[in-house]
Structure 1
Amino acid sequence: MKRFLTVVTLAGLMALGLVRPALAEEPDWTLYQQLLEQHLTQQRAQGIDLAWLDYPAVKADPRFAQLVRQLAEFDPKRLEGQQEQLVFYINAYNILAINVVVQNWPLKSIKDASPWYKSVWKIDAGQLGGETVSLDQVEHQILRPMGEPRIHFAIVCASLSCPDLRAEPYTAARLEQQLDDQLQGFLANSTKGLVATERGVKLSKIFDWFEDDFGGEQALKAWLGQQLGQPEQLIDGYLDYNWSLNGKTES
């Protein structure tokens, strides 16, 4: 009888919202949102239109160090389903790319953060769930195997020719709309995404590097035509990729 009352009481408390079962949950991205609102603007640099991050201000802002700590302490096992996992690791990649820059400041390119014998993508970028990871691990071992090619327009490797750093965190509730928006914005940016030519289109090198993620060359052509509302597109080469930092490089 006593056990029955305990169960009923617990169920009643849960119904009242006073006790909640253990549920999957996303991290709190409030600090990330605040940092983006304060330090991210739209600018043009070296002929490229982009979202411009004030790296010296981010480095000096105590909220960024706090955000990196929160990311390290959050347990990814609390996530449920692919949407939440995509959101977490896309946001994490972008935060850790910024972290690589500020931890190795001053830089003119993220590539300057690594020693000559090691790729910057393979150096320690920070921690996720208490484990040290590289940007390479997050992108190639976690995100790409999920089979969502639009990640390539959401993750930002701190460079001018990268897709724009979004002015808000990604969230599971809005992920589809956010990814579509990133894709369309990148394709519409003729300074780094896509340029129409007499023969077809010149594309960001991202489409060359990750062609397989779009199903191969023929599938990519058809996919581009679908996105542009036009027949299958002829790929007329690729745009130069500018690895200069996508933000302020001096204090």
Structure 2
Amino acid sequence: MKNSALKVIAGLLLANNVAAVEPDWKDYASVLGAVKQGEKHGTPLAIVDYAALKKSGLVDKVYQQISAFPVESLSGRQETLAFYINTYNILALKTVVDHWPLDSIKDVGSIFSPVWGKDAGTIGGKTVSLDDIENKIIRPMGEPRIHLAIVCASVSCPDLRNVPYTASTLNKQLDAQANAFLRNDKKGLYIAKDEIVVSKIFKWFKQDFDKVGGVDTFIRGYRPDLPVSYPIDADIDYDWSINALNN
């Protein structure tokens, strides 16, 4: 009995100390490392050179890696969130690269068949769309900060982070993304004469922020400097232009 108990305890300790099972993000880090800060239509943002990515074939290489990754090996919430945030961003990059040149990612689809619902790739043996990744996998996990981390290849989207998301650093990375977005006065937040105007992201996904006290509470958590009496209005115009300089 004593030996059996010791084995159980040892097993639990080992299980708790097993390293996170995640893909090797080295090639994806190379893609992100080439993203440069710039400006388009007066908005500061992370600029992607899609022409160079198409020529290099690196995005497709990264896609093949995540497509072959055994998603059943993802054992925890942080691992799963990090994997699928990266996956969404990779599939968005792939969508643009595969159809380059484009003025907007929305040009891949149409009014009757939006790009978000189109097949974007195969993950875990299943064909998925960007909508599947966002709305069927990530959003149900109850983390509103993902809306400031997944990037739809557009000027008004949150910026692509210059390194991949990982389980061990995810919380700090998501906080940094939220902070950066809410300090970009061209697409995240600006103070008007008698109100605080923020991205329409906070209108489209309002219910997700209700889980953390609502949009107002969430935003003021990152911007405690905001006038207390000013209401928040999610009404910054959304620029769907591609996040590249050559369009």
In the TM superposition, residue 223 of structure 1 has moved relative to its aligned partner by: 2.5
User: For residue 12 of structure 1, what is the aligned residue in structure 2?
Assistant: none
How big is each residue's C-alpha offset from its partner over 1:46-89, in whole Å with a ceiling of 9 and x where there is no partner?
Answer: 01100000000011113222111111111111111100000000
- % identical aligned pairs: 46
Out of 88, 96, 116, the position equivalent to 1:93 is 88
User: For residue 235 of structure 2, what is the aligned residue in structure 1?
Assistant: 238
Whole-Å separation in 2 of the counterparts to 1:211 and 1:147? 12
Whole-Å separation in 2 of the counterparts to 1:81 and 1:233? 40
User: For residue 227 of structure 1, what is the aligned residue in structure 2?
Assistant: 222
User: For residue 247 of structure 1, what is the aligned residue in structure 2?
Assistant: 244
Out of 2, 8, 23, the position equivalent to 1:27 is 23
The runs of 5 or more residues in structure 1 that have no matched partner are 1-21
User: TM-score, length-normalised on structure 2?
Assistant: 0.87
In the TM superposition, residue 247 of structure 1 has moved relative to its aligned partner by: 1.2
Which residue identity is paired with 1:190? Answer: D
Q: 1:131 to 1:228 in 2, by over 3 A?
A: same
User: For residue 139 of structure 1, what is the aligned residue in structure 2?
Assistant: 134
Matched residue of 1:225: which SS? helix
How big is each residue's C-alpha offset from its partner over 1:182-219, in whole Å with a ceiling of 9 and x where there is no partner?
Answer: 00000000010000122221000100100110108972
Q: How does 1:72-83 map to 2 (within 5 A)?
A: 72-83=67-78
User: For residue 180 of structure 1, what is the aligned residue in structure 2?
Assistant: 175
User: For residue 6 of structure 2, what is the aligned residue in structure 1?
Assistant: none
Pairing 1:68–2:63 present: yes
User: For residue 120 of structure 1, what is the aligned residue in structure 2?
Assistant: 115
Whole-Å separation in 1 of the counterparts to 2:218 and 2:229? 8
Which residue identity is paired with 2:235? Answer: Y
In the TM superposition, residue 123 of structure 1 has moved relative to its aligned partner by: 0.4
Q: CA RMSD in A?
A: 2.0
230-239 vs 119-128, which deviates more? 230-239
In the TM superposition, residue 116 of structure 1 has moved relative to its aligned partner by: 4.7
Q: 1:166 to 1:238 in 2, by over 3 A?
A: same
162-171 vs 215-224, which deviates more? 215-224
User: For residue 152 of structure 1, what is the aligned residue in structure 2?
Assistant: 147
Whole-Å separation in 2 of the counterparts to 1:163 and 1:108? 18
Q: Is the 8 A contact 1:108 1:249 kept in 2?
A: no
In the TM superposition, residue 23 of structure 1 has moved relative to its aligned partner by: 7.3
Which residue identity is paired with 1:222? Answer: T
In the TM superposition, residue 127 of structure 1 has moved relative to its aligned partner by: 1.4
Q: Is the 8 A contact 2:20 2:167 kept in 1?
A: no
In the TM superposition, residue 220 of structure 1 has moved relative to its aligned partner by: 1.6
The runs of 5 or more residues in structure 2 that have no matched partner are 1-17
